[in-house]
Chain A
Amino acid sequence: MSTPRTTNDGGETGRPPTAPQAVATPKAKMSRRQKAKISRGIQYGLLIVIAVVVALMADWPTLIGTFGRVDIAAAMFPEVVTQALKNTVVFTLLGFALGLAIAIVLALMRLSSVGVYRWLAFVYIEFFRGLPALVVFLVMGFGLPLAFPGFQLPKLYIIMIALALVSSAYMAETIRAGIQAVPKGQVEAARSLGMSSSRAMFTIVLPQAMRIILPPLTNELILLTKDSSLAYILGSSVDGRELTALARAEIVNTANLTPFIVVALCYLIITIPLSYLSRVLERKYGSAEAGVK
């Protein structure tokens, strides 16, 4: 309804301003509500059809016999929790802690005014970000002991270092982005108060960067939990097994795949709370930087 402003001057002719004319709009065959209802109906229907087809086609007795043997699952307890789950958590946390320390150093190197530091950090990050974690584990576990005959570290250290190498490359980039996301004015204010650039970094910038990068770091912890499964290729003593190693051993012992299901559930026990934590942190800090400009 575009009436030119000048002509619609109400009282001039005494005619009331014309109301939008409902008659002019063509009557739709279906209301929007009806359309939405039909669309939803089709989507649910499709879902049910797929579920029914899959359920009918599956060979349930074999499926349960292979993946769902309660007796085999029951026999894995309590070791699956007291040893394997515990080991997975320990490996992950140690790798994460060392990785985080390396990552902070790398991020600061990336932002250094010394070109060599920037370059070294860049090369490290590109290198380890581009390698499959599996390769890092193989080189750390088998390559280095062969190349340097004296190189004999306990397995726990090798796992920890391998996980740290892999995760630090990713986390370094996250931390660098977090540091750069802190407004430049924060450093200027700190410097104008007489803080040295390193004090400004550690008391003003890094604490604020940490809030920005907590959610992505939690995400990295989830990825690392799963990467820790690669420790199985190094082989281990019975009580050094983490979840995947235990599952593989049990599969051989029982000639059944149920242990994988049990172990999968154990991974989810770790990762689902972590992703919940990540979401909480994101809500809490995600837009909290509005106060800092």
Chain B
Amino acid sequence: MTETTTAPDSGTPLIAIRNLKKSFGSNQVLTDINLDVRKGEVVCVIGPSGSGKSTMLRCINVLETPSGGSIVVDGMDMTDLDLDIDAARTRIGMVFQSFNLFGHLTVRENLTVAQIKVLGRSKEEANHTAEANLDKVGLSEKIDAKPGSLSGGQQQRVAIARALSMDPDVMLFDEPTSALDPETVGDVLQVMRSLAEAGMTMVVVTHEMEFARQVADRVVFMDGGVVVEEGPAKDVIGNPKEERTQNFLARVLHPGQLG
């Protein structure tokens, strides 16, 4: 494992993962993951499927309960059983591979339901926030639509707006474009790119190498439940040191070539 070379805007990390372990039964999925994410940083996590990158992401907001180690997000110890986990999660936005919009609610309700019921915002305030965020993802005209009538790419942008409506400190993306038709991927990536430019702290599990190369401050390559290599995108993707990273990137970047 190489040492981190991070941007100078240091201080205490917004997310600090220490010796994170996760196993499902006897199957050890994560082994001693260590990762820091600083405020405003965009970290892309890449790696083959089954490498544990999604599990690692889901441990950050404790959708998966870690088996060991610690995760501190903005000073909150996420593994502490006395922590108000619901309150903590409102500060961590999450975007899923399969969107998971609430199918029985309109786009507006999708964006306001948690603001009103969890944050206790007034209906007007929630609506105002929802409209602003929907505008950010370029879907203002869909505010009264049902999710089922939207394309995959539109649903994912609504899902991003829904997470943003809680005004989170950090956004987690779990393979946000993997379930999309190729022609809608660009719109979603564009939204994420402008989010990154606006200074949002982001952890993105992705297979989009071009996006990682251009947007990520740092790229983490995981394989077999460990962090194999991490560093600036141009190093990890452009000039990987580890053999496993090289093999993976060769397969992903040149899928047509055999061997």
Contact = CB atoms under 8 A, between A and B. Distances in A.
B102 A194 contact: no
A291 B99 CA distance: 10
B89 A192 contact: yes
A9 B104 CA distance: 56
Interface string B117-151: 11100000000000000000000000000111100
B148 A188 contact: no
A24 B149 CA distance: 51
A189 B58 CA distance: 12
A185 B100 contact: yes
Nearest to A289: B103
Given A188-B96, A291-B146, A292-B147, A195 B101 contact: no
A194 B89 contact: yes
Given A288-B148, A289-B103, A291-B146, A195 B118 contact: yes
A192 B103 contact: no
Interface residues of A, number: 24
A204 B166 CA distance: 17
Given A194-B166, A199-B117, A208-B103, A189 B90 contact: no
A51 to B, nearest CB: 48
A189 B119 CA distance: 16
Given A207-B104, A208-B104, A292-B147, A189 B117 contact: no
Q: Is the interface of A mostly helix, strand, loop or mixed?
A: helix
A183 B100 contact: yes
A291 B148 contact: yes
B87 interface: yes
Given A188-B100, A208-B103, A291 B147 contact: yes
Contacts of B93: 192
Nearest to A199: B117
Contacts of B237: none
Given A193-B118, A194-B87, A194-B90, A203 B113 contact: yes
Nearest to B119: A194
Nearest to A292: B103
Contacts of A204: 102
A52 interface: no
Nearest to B63: A188
Interface string A193-230: 11110010001100110010000000000000000000
Interface string B53-74: 0000000010100000000000
A275 interface: no
Given A194-B118, A203-B117, A288-B148, A189 B100 contact: yes
B140 to A, nearest CB: 20
Contacts of A83: none
A192 B102 contact: no
Interface residues of B, number: 30
Interface string A262-293: 00000000000000000000000000111111
A293 B102 CA distance: 9
Contacts of B100: 183, 185-186, 188-189, 293
A35 interface: no
Contacts of B63: 188, 191-192
B108 interface: no
Given A183-B100, A207-B104, A208-B104, A193 B148 contact: no
A211 B118 contact: no
A236 B79 CA distance: 63
A195 B114 contact: yes
Interface in B225-254: none
Nearest to A293: B98
B92 interface: yes
Interface string B151-165: 000000001001100
Nearest to B86: A194
B114 A293 contact: no
A185 B93 CA distance: 15
B148 A189 contact: no
B112 to A, nearest CB: 11
Contacts of B87: 194
B14 interface: no
A293 B117 contact: no
A193 B90 CA distance: 5
**Can you list the 3 inter-chain pairs with the closest CB atoms, starting with the nearest?**
A291-B148, A292-B103, A194-B90
Interface of A: 183, 185-186, 188-196, 199, 203-204, 207-208, 211, 288-293
Given A185-B98, A189-B102, A195-B114, 8 more contacts: A191-B63, A195-B117, A199-B117, A208-B104, A291-B148, A291-B149, A292-B147, A293-B99
Interface of B: 61, 63, 86-87, 89-90, 92-94, 96, 98-104, 113-114, 117-119, 146-149, 159, 162-163, 166
